[in-house]
């Protein structure tokens, strides 16, 4: 299985991150998710899960930052469309990103349980985008955490693909 996230000049396009225009923001944070092409997923894929994490946030905040976690996307997708996190075009179960944690304490599910675009404060950051092909629907409800996703996926991952994308400071 392979995935492809669009890049421009080596970076995630501006509209998906720090330099997103006002119409692609909620509560001043970038919320328009990027499209992801999925190729060669196993034929018996029932659902997909998506994660986007930032290990370059560790020196800044002391931990990996979770930008996007979602589960139970339909297994017949070949593309997760642009803005799928907000549009409702693709059914999915929404996980919490790091803004939902106690440090930020974001209570708005439109931002805390959706894609939260890159805002690198110190230097360009590398974002790890992973799509998991799964053999079943996961028993998760909106508002689950990344660790709960990994627990639920145990024994159900048919394939996975990762792409590292850069977000500019």
pLDDT at 36: 99
* pTM recorded for the entire structure: 0.98
Q: Is 58 exposed, middle or buried (0-12, 13-18, 19+ CB in 10 A)?
A: exposed
Residues 56-67 have a mean pLDDT of 97
pLDDT at 103: 87
Domains and CATH numbers, the chain: 2-167 (3.90.280.10)
DSSP symbol at 8: B
User: What token pair was written down for 168?
Assistant: 């500019």
Distance separating alpha carbons of residues 161 and 131, to the nearest angstrom: 6
**In the chain, where do the E strands start and end?**
2-4, 25-26, 29-30, 36-39, 47-54, 65-74, 79-80, 93-94, 125-134, 157-167
pLDDT digits (tens, 9 = 90+) for 8-23: 999 999 999 999 999 9
* Residues 56, 125 contacting (CB under 8 angstroms): yes
DSSP symbol at 84: H
pLDDT digits (tens, 9 = 90+) for 156-169: 999 999 999 999 99
Q: Is the pLDDT of residue 140 over 90?
A: yes
Number of residues that this document lists for the chain: 169
pLDDT digits (tens, 9 = 90+) for 101-122: 988 999 999 999 999 999 999 9
DSSP string, 108-122: -HHHHTS------SS
- In the chain, pLDDT over 90 holds for what percent of residues? 98
User: What token pair was written down for 54?
Assistant: 């930032």
Closest to 76 in 3D by CA, of 37, 48, 35: 48
pLDDT digits (tens, 9 = 90+) for 21-58: 999 999 999 999 999 999 999 999 999 999 999 999 99
**In 55-99, where do the E strands start and end?**
65-74, 79-80, 93-94
């Amino acid at each position: 299985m392979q995935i492809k996230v669009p890049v421009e000049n080596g970076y995630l396009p501006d509209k998906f991150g720090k330099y997103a225009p006002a119409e692609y923001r909620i509560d001043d944070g970038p919320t328009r998710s990027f499209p992801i092409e999925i190729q060669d997923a196993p034929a018996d894929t029932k659902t997909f899960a998506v994660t986007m994490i930032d290990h370059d946030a560790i020196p800044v905040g002391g931990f990996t930052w979770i930008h996007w976690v979602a589960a139970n996307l339909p297994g017949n997708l070949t593309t997760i469309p642009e803005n799928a996190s907000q549009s409702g075009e693709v059914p999915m179960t929404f996980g919490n990103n790091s803004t939902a944690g106690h440090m930020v304490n974001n209570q708005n599910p439109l931002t805390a349980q959706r894609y939260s675009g890159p805002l690198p404060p110190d230097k360009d950051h590398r974002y790890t985008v992973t799509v998991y092909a799964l053999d079943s629907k996961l028993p998760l409800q909106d508002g689950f955490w990344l660790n709960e996703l990994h627990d639920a996926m145990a024994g159900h991952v048919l394939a996975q693909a990762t792409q590292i994308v850069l977000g500019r400071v």
